[in-house]
Chains A and B, each alone.
Chain A
Amino acid sequence: MGALRWGVGSVATVAVYAALFLYAEAQSVVIGLLVGAVVAMVMASRFDVLARVGESFARHERALDRLTFAACIAVAALFHDQHFVLLMLATVLLYFVACIGLNLQFGHTGVVNFAGAAFFGVGAYAAAVLSQHTPVPHLAIIVIAGAVAAVIGSVLIIPVLRTRGHYAAMVTIAFGVLFKTFLEVNDTLGGPQGLKLPGMSVFGIPFNANIALSDDAEISFYMHYVVLALLLAAGAYSLSRRIERSWIGLNLDAVRLDETACATFGIDVARWKIVAYTIGNALCGIAGAVYAMMTGFIAPNNFTFGDSLIMVSIILLGGVGNPRGVMIAAAVVLLLPEKLQMIQEYRFLLYAVLVMAVLLFRPEGLLPRRLRAYFPGGTS
């Protein structure tokens, strides 16, 4: 058990599948691939392949993490001249960063946040204002946007600490709706028309210019954003793992599972909720800032309650508390409607059905979280 080849095989399979899926144009091929994926998942769980893959990931985590990173680069390289595919890939990676933040809040600490898209939006608007009106370097803008999202999120800390369950959900829903309304009526932030942003430029490299390879071949300018998003995703993943595998991760779990019991063992419930909430919102803000500079245009309609729900459904689908599951789910949820045009209109219906099916048949998500191993890979 736990042989490296199972992990390598699964990463390779997912990468090849992702490439095929991104390549497919004809609707019949797309549907065929989807059916294939469902059948493969069912077979894999029946023949214990999933368990072996999971074991392999637990044993050889570092090597497989690097392989996953390399696989992402390989898929991006394959589509190096296709703007739209690279845009989608970068979007998936940025949503992954934001969802890692929400996962720290909800999956680990049990703090519900139905305003993920609003904090994403705070980061996006912060980036828009800073890049238009100040000479702050763009990398610094990303950091500042994360800080702004965390600070604005702190407005909600008192109501979030005082409420639980449905009531806490209501507080964040209200914030998300108010945020969008605030943007729509605020003329300095562009009102309903939104704001334009210049493309990023880092260390003198203009992100919005294609990279010429030879006279007739070039790499899409979106590759810059894919690389940046991939680095951020790797950073967020590593942060999330380090938090999980430390006494902090234990405190967050303890707070989620039983507030009264953990208070009698000295755990400061409010402190850990604030820590998770702040880090989570900052990650949403960081992702939003890059997203805004990548698309070059943002409007209130990019950051609706529906978008927040998409983020929550990514976490529920992927596996609450498991960053790897979040990655897969982010890809599924965001790529599916782009590829299957016929469901564009019905995508919320589809997500609802998917989430309900997962909650019914696999309540811990597609890839359930494993027990905490503080220092995985060793023998203990």
Chain B
Amino acid sequence: MTAPLLVCRGLTMRFGGLTALDALDLDVLPGEILGLIGPNGSGKTTFFNVVTGVYAATAGSAVFAGADLTRLTAQAIYRAGITRTFQRSRLALPLSIFDNLMIGNHRRLDHGLAFNLFRRVALKAQYESAVDEARTLLATFSVPLATRLFEPASAVTMIDRRRIEICRALISRPKLLLLDEPSAGMTHEETRELMDDILLVRGRMPGLGIILIEHEMNVIERVTDRCAVFNYGKRIAAGTYAEVAADRDVQQAYLGQE
């Protein structure tokens, strides 16, 4: 068996008296899509925020590709190769689609003052290869969208914004991608399209691990290899969709106690 990409042990996040994550154990393997399900407030997004360094864990550890990232800043975690999308789209709407992708491409661009201000020729070369790359990546999701690279992100539809957000997270070639409810607010048809895109990307980027927060059970059933169920900050079940769906604790969490 291959070594896991992300190993969380006893991961705990407390906000005052509220325990949002309670001694969570979770492994993610390279190349797999792990579905994260659970009722609202069960700690799924908090888990993402802790793993990406938005919050510092109260206790426990998260080890990514052999390196402990529990005490790292959000910036360092990004450089290590974890990127994410947000539950509510957090694109820079007044900026162009290209600019939004380049925000995600940060670690592969040169940010030196002298380089940016005085070496315009070298900057132009870097810029042009970035444009090509952005266009190619967008085109795997949507060919028409790729032609609109220099339009404001605010000018495109909701599903295209989601695609841009996913591309922003993918362009730096991460090892682990966290998708926080990418289908929120979209129709079934749009959700299916988006999930097809995600499966396509997975096929093209072998080794990329994906954690997907999702409420639609048919989506989870279709795209995930394994899933983990959260309730009150604890992982109450893990396994394939069929195993998890048959679990008594899971049924209780969703349907309530009899």
Chain A positions near chain B (C-beta within 8 angstroms)? 239, 242-243, 246-248, 250-251, 253-254, 257-258, 260-268, 275, 371-375, 380
Contact = CB atoms under 8 A, between A and B. Distances in A.
A253 B95 contact: yes
Given A261-B90, A266-B107, 15 more contacts: A247-B123, A253-B92, A253-B94, A261-B103, A262-B103, A263-B73, A263-B74, A264-B77, A265-B104, A266-B75, A266-B106, A267-B103, A371-B96, A380-B131, A380-B150
B242 interface: no
Contacts of A264: 52-54, 74, 77-78, 83-84
**Contact-residue size bin, chain B (C-beta under 8 Å from the other chain):** 35 or more
Contacts, number: 92
Interface stretch (B22-30, B60-68, B110-118, B212-220): B110-118
Contacts of B79: 266
25 contacts: A242-B117, A243-B117, A246-B123, A247-B111, A248-B113, A250-B95, A253-B92, A253-B94, A257-B95, A258-B92, A260-B90, A261-B86, A261-B90, A264-B83, A265-B172, A266-B106, A266-B107, A267-B103, A268-B75, A371-B151, A373-B150, A374-B123, A375-B127, A380-B131, A380-B150
A372 B102 CA distance: 12
Contacts of B116: 242-243, 246-248
Contacts of B113: 248, 275
Contacts of A254: 92, 103
B74 A372 contact: no
Contact of A372 (B53, B96, B151): B96
Nearest to A239: B117
A263 B120 CA distance: 26
B239 interface: no
B162 to A, nearest CB: 15
Contact of B102 (A247, A258, A373, A380): A247
Contacts of A258: 90, 92
B52 A250 contact: no
Given A247-B111, A251-B111, A263 B54 contact: yes
B71 interface: no
Contacts of A375: 124, 127
B150 A263 contact: no
A126 B196 CA distance: 64
Contacts of A242: 116-117, 120
Contacts of A250: 95, 99, 102-103
A268 B73 CA distance: 10
B95 A267 contact: no
A373 B116 CA distance: 14
A31 B8 CA distance: 72
B104 to A, nearest CB: 5
Contacts of B120: 242
Interface centre among A372, A374, A380 (most CB of B within 10 A): A374
A247 B150 contact: no
Nearest to B131: A380
B168 interface: yes
B152 interface: yes
B56 to A, nearest CB: 13
Nearest to B118: A242
B95 A372 contact: yes
Contacts of B99: 250, 253, 371-372
A239 B78 CA distance: 30
A249 to B, nearest CB: 8
B141 to A, nearest CB: 19
A308 B107 CA distance: 37
Given A265-B168, A267-B103, A375-B124, A247 B109 contact: yes
A18 B94 CA distance: 33
Nearest to B178: A264
A371 B95 contact: yes
A255 B94 CA distance: 13
A146 to B, nearest CB: 16
B125 to A, nearest CB: 11
A239 B118 CA distance: 10
Contact of A265 (B94, B106, B124): B106
Interface centre among B90, B168, B172 (most CB of A within 10 A): B90
B117 A267 contact: no
B157 to A, nearest CB: 19
CB-CB nearest 6 A-B residue pairs? A246-B116, A266-B78, A263-B74, A261-B90, A266-B106, A257-B92
A263 B75 contact: yes
A253 B127 CA distance: 17
Interface in B95-152: 95-96, 99, 102-104, 106-107, 109-111, 113, 116-117, 120, 123-124, 127, 131, 150-152
A371 B172 CA distance: 23
